[in-house]
Amino acid sequence: MRFDYIVVGAGSAGCIVATRLSEDPSIRVLLVEAGGSDRSPVIAMPAALPFTYQSRKLGWGYESGPEPHLGGRTIDEKRGRVVGGTSSINAMIFNRGNALDFDGWAEQGLTEWGYAQCLPYFRRMETFAEGADEWRGGEGPMFISRCRAAHKLYDTFLRGGEQAGFEVAPDHNGYRQEGLHIAQAFVHDGLRWSSARGYLHPAARRENLEVLTHARVDRVVIENGAAVGIEMRHKGERRTVACEREVILCAGAFNSPQLLMLSGVGNADDLRAHGIELKAHAPGVGRNLENHPGVNLQYATNYEDSLVSELNMLGQVRLAADWALRRKGLGTSNFFEAGAFLRTRPDVGFPNMQFEFLPLTRQLRNGRLVAIPGFQFWMDLSRPESRGAVTLRSADPSAAPSIVFNHLESRQDLQDLVDGVKMARDMIRQPAWDKFRGEELAPGADAGTDAELERFVRANLGTSFHPSGTCRMGVDDEAVVDGEGRVKAVRRMRVVDGSIMPRIVTANLSAAIMMMAEKITDRILGKPALPPSAAPYHRAVAAS
């Protein structure tokens, strides 16, 4: 088996890279995925999100930790092991990021990654349901719709935020991100619109594209400083596949650095300790790990005022039937239909806190996550200061990597989360909530002081499942890849996924990862970059 390009991982980025490369019929592409098919109603129905999250069949089952600043706790990290990757199991929330995120990348020396250079690729990848303009696309394979947000508590969330002094952004993926908003989602015609559905499925019959599922890549074969193929396990057998141009890792922020290290690319001392033959010393592999850590603020409300009242046994039957027969109704919702990007302090020039609102609340009872009458704010840090690492547990490719985020290592991260809880409480104290506000379930009335809120945050911190940065791109010696995703220490190998972000974006990661895949694939093919955009964007003023 010989191919021009081997793409490892059929996730948010891999589906795009393989599809775009195979548009040239002279290029032979192999896309290798450890998981299986995404053709399942559980994946297709947006409202089945809780089942995709909890499915052991669809995920890698990774945990981070023990986390040293959280009392040694471990945290579940949902990552898709299926065609479409995490875009087949995530909450489908479409947020691009703040323009200042990408300008920040450019300021680090990655001059082709400023907002003006990235916006044309965001536009190329999408078809926005409300039409194209200088910020939004109208002809791309990823269909983006604005959530219906029909339940009354979504509007209450917006009105409470306005009463607290915040603005509502007309399109938080357009001119201005900061403010409250009705969410946008990777949902089209009532279906989850993953990168597999948008890109890969329409290309699946191309003779020059082979998609191999249930195939675990054990290592990249490196000879004389260049990637020449992969070793993988498929149907119980070990196979070697040769590659004539490049091996492209799209395996994600956990598995891409793990694969590099298993292949002999990483910190020399660490690899030797595991008995792995050193191919290239690259100490930055696995470092700079980021995520969006956060907590839930939960309130009780009357049964009839919560979305739970529409999700009783009869409601669930109606939901399933309406979706199956008409692709309509609650089955088309991810339920995260309103949110906000806000600043908890005036000395930052970007929203440092993201809020996602649910018109119900969920609690763990007898080991199961159960919906109860209420509402909740999930809030996470958009740009935390703390950094972690992905390292090897052993040289066994079947062993999960060691993942430690070091959440709350930075004192500022803890203070920002405490201030985020206070901000959410202030919004819920507004008159708009008077008819609906019940008992505060979490943190609860007994958590009033900063010290009490800090204890709550440490005990309940989770993440938004947004790992990034472990193979970061940059111009410095510690960067793993350059601005085109090329691994600096090894020829003929690239990484294209969330691991190459030099700094995490102020958003859910899927949209930015897809943009990066579109942009880098142009470079692989030798195409000229799309012309920079002149679209203006909002710049917040940070107080000194």
Specify if 397 maps to a domain.
no
Report how far residue 49's alpha carbon sits from residue 43's, in angstroms, rounded to the nearest whole number: 8
Q: Are residues 376 and 435 in the same domain?
A: yes
Q: Are residues 418 and 524 in the same domain?
A: no
Q: Are residues 277 and 426 in the same domain?
A: no
Which tens digits make up the pLDDT trace of 182-238?
Answer: 999 999 999 999 999 999 999 999 999 999 999 999 999 999 999 999 999 999 999
C-alpha 85, offset from chain centre = 11
Handedness of CA 54, 55, 58, 60 (dihedral sign): positive
* The one-letter amino acid at 433: W
Task: Indicate the residue among 460, 491, 521 that finishes a domain.
Answer: 460
pLDDT of 369 higher than 80: no
What phi, psi does 110 have (nearest 5°)?
Answer: -90, 75
Find the CATH number of the domain harbouring 135: 3.50.50.60
Q: Are residues 201 and 175 in the same domain?
A: no
- Give the number of other Cβ atoms within 10 Å of residue 349's Cβ: 15
Q: Are residues 211 and 105 in the same domain?
A: yes
Coil, strand or helix at 206: coil
- Do the Cβ atoms of 9 and 32 come closer than 8 Å? yes
Report how far residue 516's alpha carbon sits from residue 341's, in angstroms, rounded to the nearest whole number: 22
What phi, psi does 370 have (nearest 5°)?
Answer: -120, 135
Strands 226-234 and 215-223, bridge-based pairing: antiparallel
For 9-99, strand residue ranges (E) read 29-32, 62-67, 73-77
Which tens digits make up the pLDDT trace of 60-108?
Answer: 999 999 999 999 999 999 999 999 999 999 999 999 999 999 999 999 9
pLDDT of 362 higher than 90: no
Report how far residue 86's alpha carbon sits from residue 59's, in angstroms, rounded to the nearest whole number: 8
Residue 69 is a catalytic residue? no
Q: Are residues 516 and 445 in the same domain?
A: no
How many separate domains does the chain show?
A: 2
Closest CA to 126 of 82, 184, 177: 184
pLDDT given for residue 364 in this prediction:
75
Q: Are residues 308 and 362 in the same domain?
A: yes
Q: Are residues 234 and 298 in the same domain?
A: no
pLDDT of 368 higher than 80: no
Domain that holds residue 22: 1-145+192-288+469-538+540-544
Specify if 330 maps to a domain.
yes
Q: Which of 1-5, 159-163, 260-264 has the lowest mean pLDDT?
A: 1-5
* Percent of the chain at pLDDT exceeding 70: 99
Find the CATH number of the domain harbouring 177: 3.30.410.40
pLDDT band at 540 (very low <50, low <70, confident <90, very high): confident
Task: Indicate the residue among 460, 493, 524 that finishes a domain.
Answer: 460
Specify if 393 maps to a domain.
no
pLDDT of 302 higher than 80: yes
pLDDT band at 543 (very low <50, low <70, confident <90, very high): confident
Determine the Cα angle at 510 with ends 488 and 427, to 5°.
Answer: 125
- Report CA-CA distances (Å) from 251 to 11, 57, 221, 491: 7, 17, 16, 19
pLDDT of 370 higher than 90: no
Which tens digits make up the pLDDT trace of 408-437?
Answer: 999 999 999 999 999 999 999 999 999 999
For 99-153, give the DSSP string. Answer: HHHHHHHHHTT-GGGSHHHHHHHHHHHEEETT---SSS-BS-SEEEEE----SHH
Give the DSSP H/E element, type plus range, for residue 252: helix 252-262
Q: Are residues 420 and 338 in the same domain?
A: yes
Specify if 88 maps to a domain.
yes
pLDDT given for residue 208 in this prediction:
98
CB within 8 Å of 55: residues ≥ 6 apart: 42, 89
> Among residues 151, 181, 407, 466, which one is catalytic?
466
Which tens digits make up the pLDDT trace of 430-473?
Answer: 999 999 999 999 999 999 999 999 999 999 999 999 999 999 99
Specify if 388 maps to a domain.
no
Q: Which two tokens stand for residue 271?
A: 């690899």
Q: Are residues 308 and 259 in the same domain?
A: no
Specify if 402 maps to a domain.
no
Specify if 399 maps to a domain.
no
Task: Indicate the residue among 423, 439, 460 that finishes a domain.
Answer: 460
Q: Kindly report the average pLDDT of the chain as a whole number.
A: 97
Specify if 187 maps to a domain.
no
Q: Are residues 68 and 177 in the same domain?
A: no
Q: Are residues 242 and 98 in the same domain?
A: yes
Handedness of CA 153, 159, 164, 166 (dihedral sign): positive
